[in-house]
Amino acid sequence: MSSFLQEVETKFNTAKENKDLFSFESTQTEKESNGMKFKITLVPGLAKKTSDKDKEDKEDDKKSNPFENPNPALVVKELDEHNIFLNKYAVIPNHLIIATKEFKKQSAPLLPNDLYETFKVLKDFGASHPALAFYNCGEQSGASQGHKHVQVLPLKHENDPQPPIKKLFDEIHDRHVGQIYAINKLPFVHVILPLDNNIIRNANTREELTDYLVQMFFGVLDAMFQQLRENAQPLNASYNFLMTQDFMMLIPRSQEKASIEHNGKTFELSINSLGFAGLLLCKTEEQLEALKAQENLMDVLTQIGIPWNPEASEIEAARELAADAELA
């Protein structure tokens, strides 16, 4: 275990013991759709919140912006421009938040220092303890706070690739680092890019690593905007960003909540970046049963994402032909 992870775990256990954070019991179910094993986590405690203290804390958080001056009992590291601290409402232990010290909007793209500090946390967890970073950008992205923040979630060691989306990433045929791809099994607009571990490993300075991450992020962001144009969508869409030590992925959003039917009832589920990683959260047994009953969970994600335009491939082919003609 890395020294950083030891520090995080110690901080988490102390904060939990002192009731500075709330850790919820959960159970997990799997459901496969389009070759991806979704993990559906049921957390009844998120629905109950019976204590007055919990409700008061929530109200205080909304009023006072908990990311502006985080509770010192939760702070793992204070940096020049960011604070790294534990999520106060933890479904998964050691869930970290990387928030800007100065207020910046959650609708703004990630900047060089955001990317560097986020990737450094991923690396500091250690090679034997993989983690997932995610950023919910914009009103329809599932973000719970308007203060700019990235989240880092530790991943469990399992036989299947983690997070679940990595299985589909690993199936990309003849994959090349730095090349941008779309995965055929995903029925919604997205872009994914493999990172070059050799460049990352050989980056001798903060500047070298930052420059590489910025180049990759804005490259994949440009590719997402191109997909939005080809699918006749506005370019100011909210989006979700996923990053591991292996890839970056962007998914534009059309709405925050998915609506699903089961046993004559309608359930509305707020879904953030984690849903596109294959990690879904529900608060009640009814919601869980409704998700398990869905024929294809990819359809749920397509509701909140943007379905592929059937003509988009033709547009892309025509654009490539035009480019070839100019080169001839």
Whether pTM > 0.75 for this model: the answer is: yes
The answer to whether residue 155 scores a pLDDT higher than 60 is yes
Residue 58 predicted with pLDDT over 80 = no
pLDDT tens for 81-102 read: 999 999 999 999 999 999 999 9
Q: Helices in 175-205 by DSSP H: which ranges?
A: 197-202
Return the minimum-mean-pLDDT range out of 5-9, 68-72, 111-115, 321-325: 321-325
Distance spanning both ends of the chain, measured CA to CA: 57
237-281 tens-digit pLDDT: 899 999 999 999 999 999 999 999 999 999 999 999 999 999 999
> For residue 51, what pLDDT is reported?
44
Task: Provide the percentage of residues in the chain whose pLDDT is more than 90.
Answer: 79
pLDDT tens-digit readout, 283-328 = 999 999 999 999 999 999 999 999 998 776 554 554 455 555 544 4
Query: What pLDDT score was predicted for residue 236?
Result: 86
What does the chain come to in residues? 328
Region 29-46: mean pLDDT is 95
CA-based nearest residue to 85, from 76, 73, 95: 76
Mean pLDDT for 170-189 is 95
**What pLDDT digit, counting tens, does each position of 221-237 carry?**
999 999 999 988 888 88
Residue 239 makes CB contacts below 8 A (sequence gap 6+) with 137, 138, 141, 224, 250, 251, 252, 253
127 φψ region: left (φ > 0), alpha (ψ -120 to 50), beta (else): alpha
Q: What is the mean pLDDT of residues 17-43?
A: 96
Mean pLDDT throughout 202-221?
97
Question: Rounded to an integer, what distance in angstroms lies between the CA atom of residue 249 and that of residue 192?
Answer: 4
The answer to whether 231 and 308 have CB atoms below 8 angstroms apart is yes
Residue 227: its pLDDT value, please? 93
How far, in Å, CA of 86 to CA of 21, rounded? 8
